[in-house]
Amino acid sequence: MTGFPLSRETRRLVLDQPFLLESGVSLPGLEIAWRSWGRLAPAGDNAVVVCHALTGSADADNWWAPLFGPGRVLDPQRDFIVCSNVLGGCYGSTGPTSPAPDGRPWGGRFPALTVRDQVRAQIALADALGIRRIALVLGGSMGGLQALEWALLDPERVDAVATIAASGRHSAWCAVWSEAQRQALATDPKYRDGHYDPADPPHAGLAAARAMAMVSYRSPASLASRFGRASGAEAFGDRAHSPGELAARGWLRHHGKALVERFDAHTYRMLIDAMDSHDLARGRGDYETVLRGIRQPVLVGSIASDALYVPADQFELVRLIPRAELLTIDSQHGHDGFLIDAANFQRTLREFKERHAPRAFPAPARRHALPAVHGRPSARSANACNR
């Protein structure tokens, strides 16, 4: 893997058999970077799977810290919590920055992915770890799309699902935001449809795409409360900005600069493409019938100020999924409220889990160490696998 360092706690699952994608293309092998907290119970039935958002990593305890801890929905003293970097990502899992069979990074040659492909890779990880029951699959934004796919792809193993700020299929509204970001990438002459030198990536295009995304992630009230019309130098703390510049401009540029230092441009493109492919009914039949066939209880988190995955997306899920419950999240921060205000809905998530996954309570009296992974799949430390 090139470029982006992993946390020391990250492990790697290696599958050396072909992995068939929905497109019909097979990857010659698969690597999944993952982290875990807690211990798997002897019966293998105390797992919780966390799915990350677009530019996230397996480090869920960093980006969703308010959900972790004793007595919370993600309790390492009770649960075996697993989060993996998504297939197509750039934090250790197979993706455009990974070596292709010829030894060079896949880059623009990496095949198209779907959210369903990503969840099938997560299922392969669960199989390799010996997980027999999953008390809860939890995710927000892109992770919320994956959580819904888990309900349909692995219904016998998954007890309950919580999907926050997400939808059952990508709307035209989400698709146009994605397309604007693709066009931003394409305008950078270095991008070359993903066929660029990893040492000279298209930073300008990725920064512009990120700026567009950040606008969709927040709300007018969120930005007004933070910036108003204060000057950039005074409010943003960067003397490089002229005194008359709006602080929000500096904030937007800051986020673009921060992303290009930690993320790959073509990976970004592949993941937004996968999100646009999201449709729970694809290949399964009528959309309403498919949603009415979801058997698990599903907690659907909706943020009133979300201008990307708008509340109507979640209301539709609640109307169609038989055992759906609506969680209304009071946040002025728009789509990003699923991260910024996580502490405000942690208790509701925990109570939902307690009601619908009773086998996870109380904690087993005895735990065993993480199982060794035998045969072709193998789990090993990230430090041993860095290239």
**Catalytic site residues?**
141, 306, 335
CB 219 within 8 A of CB 334: yes
If residue 36 lies in a helix (H) or strand (E), which one and from where to where? Answer: strand 30-37
Name the β-bridge partners of 161: 137, 298
Query: Which of the 8 DSSP states describes residue 190?
Result: T
Q: Is 80 left (phi over 0), alpha (psi -120 to 50) or beta?
A: beta
CA–chain centroid gap for 72, Å, is 20
Query: Which of the 8 DSSP states describes residue 28?
Result: S
Residue with tokens 């990593």: 57
CA distance readout (Å), 381 to 34, 105, 230, 385: 10, 22, 47, 7
Q: Hey, what's the torsion of the CAs at 348, 336, 158, 289, to 10 degrees?
A: 100
The span from the CA of 177 to the CA of 308, in Å, is 8
Question: Does the annotation flag 210 for ligand binding?
Answer: yes
CA–chain centroid gap for 1, Å, is 20
Question: Does the annotation flag 229 for ligand binding?
Answer: no
Q: In sequence order, which residues have a C-beta less than 8 Å from that of residue 206 and are 6 or more positions away?
A: 185, 188, 256, 259, 260, 263, 265, 268
CA–chain centroid gap for 184, Å, is 22
Binding site for substrate: residue ranges? Answer: 210, 336
